[in-house]
């Protein structure tokens, strides 16, 4: 059975549930998939990430990208057996989609690059989003920023409440 975008969003939500709840930050999960070589039948999961998974006040989308870049060529060949070496993660990322439970951030006050910028810089084609970022902390313009840079933004409907409830885990 081919995985649907909602299946990948559900996996991203599983990642979000791994976050250590925080009163001052959202709990977000992200899954990075790639269809490679282009035209392959099935997207393959490259990496997953969640908020604060990597040291520092890190975000889900950036963490998934960092983890994808840590894959060795041998690991990439295992993930993409039909691709011929040399395989570069940059090329694969240009055929990748990112799923995130919440709209990628457009502003960071911590000094780290916003996730929208990281997604754009990686050359990712499509961004599937579970729910928009509410204005709890900052006014988020991530989706607009992505679209302006030519990334296709797809709002998935049906899991907004779950995505938001998990995002706000630390703040009841």
Q: Is 15 a catalytic residue?
A: no
Give, as one character, the DSSP assignment of residue 67.
Answer: H
Q: How far is the CB of 142 from Zn ion (least distance, A)?
A: 8
Q: Which residues bind Zn ion (CB under 5 A)?
A: 59, 105, 115
Shorter beta-carbon distance to Zn ion: residue 50 or 80? 50
Coil, strand or helix at 151: coil
Q: How far is the CB of 114 from Zn ion (least distance, A)?
A: 6
Given 15, 53, 61, 133, which residue is catalytic?
61
Query: Order of strands, edge to edge, in the sheet holding 96-102?
Result: 44-50, 29-34, 96-102, 126-131, 152-155
Q: How far is the CB of 159 from Zn ion (least distance, A)?
A: 19
Coil, strand or helix at 14: helix
CA pair distance 120, 126, nearest whole angstrom: 10
Shorter beta-carbon distance to Zn ion: residue 115 or 131? 115
Shorter beta-carbon distance to Zn ion: residue 37 or 170? 170
Give, as one character, the DSSP assignment of residue 113.
Answer: P
Active site residues: 61
């Amino acid at each position: 059975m081919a995985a649907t975008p909602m299946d990948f969003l559900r996996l991203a939500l599983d990642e979000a549930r791994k976050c250590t709840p925080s009163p001052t930050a959202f709990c977000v999960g992200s899954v990075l998939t790639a269809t490679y070589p282009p035209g392959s039948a099935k997207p393959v999961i490259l990496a997953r990430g969640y908020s604060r998974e990597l040291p520092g006040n890190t975000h889900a989308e950036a963490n998934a990208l960092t983890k994808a870049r840590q894959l060795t060529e041998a690991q990439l060949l295992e993930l993409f057996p039909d691709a011929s070496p040399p395989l570069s993660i940059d090329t694969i990322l240009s055929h990748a989609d990112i799923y995130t439970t919440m709209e990628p951030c457009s502003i960071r006050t911590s000094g780290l690059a916003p996730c929208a910028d990281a997604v754009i810089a990686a050359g990712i084609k499509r961004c599937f989003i579970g729910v928009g970022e509410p204005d709890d902390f900052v006014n988020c313009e991530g989706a607009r920023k992505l679209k302006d840079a030519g990334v296709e933004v797809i709002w998935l409907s049906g899991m907004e409440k779950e995505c938001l409830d998990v995002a706000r885990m630390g703040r009841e």
